[in-house]
Amino acid sequence: MATSNFAAGAYAAVQNVGGLKGAPKVQPPQGAGGANFSSLLGSALDGVAEAGRKADAQSLSVAAGKANVVDVVTAVAESETALQTLVAVRDRMISAYEEIMRMQI
């Protein structure tokens, strides 16, 4: 049951569902065809990168004595969750690609 709670938290972090403060946001892309998927992936990557930059900035702020340690821990946890979600999506995409390649025409 802890795994499903973790998965729900990871999904919420990427989609900003449940009002997680500072979680990366993925906007639905506009347009048609393959551009939608590539735009979605691009915005997801940008969200993960932004979460990482926020965690770095918070870490530097706490080192300078200007931030609360709780904020740093929260930012790092959000960044880690976003990255783990991105890796899970990548693994699923590779699996789907391999499955398509095994199909006979």
Kindly report, residue by residue over 72-92, the tens digit of the pLDDT. Answer: 899 999 999 999 999 999 999
66 or 9, which is more confident: 66
For the chain, the structural domain boundaries read: 42-105
Query: In angstroms, what CA-CA distances link 6 with 10, 82, 104?
Result: 6, 12, 37
Q: How far apart are CA 92 and CA 29, in angstroms?
A: 20
Q: How far apart are CA 56 and CA 64, in angstroms?
A: 12
CA-derived radius of gyration, the chain: 17
Query: Do 48 and 55 touch, CB atoms closer than 8 A?
Result: no
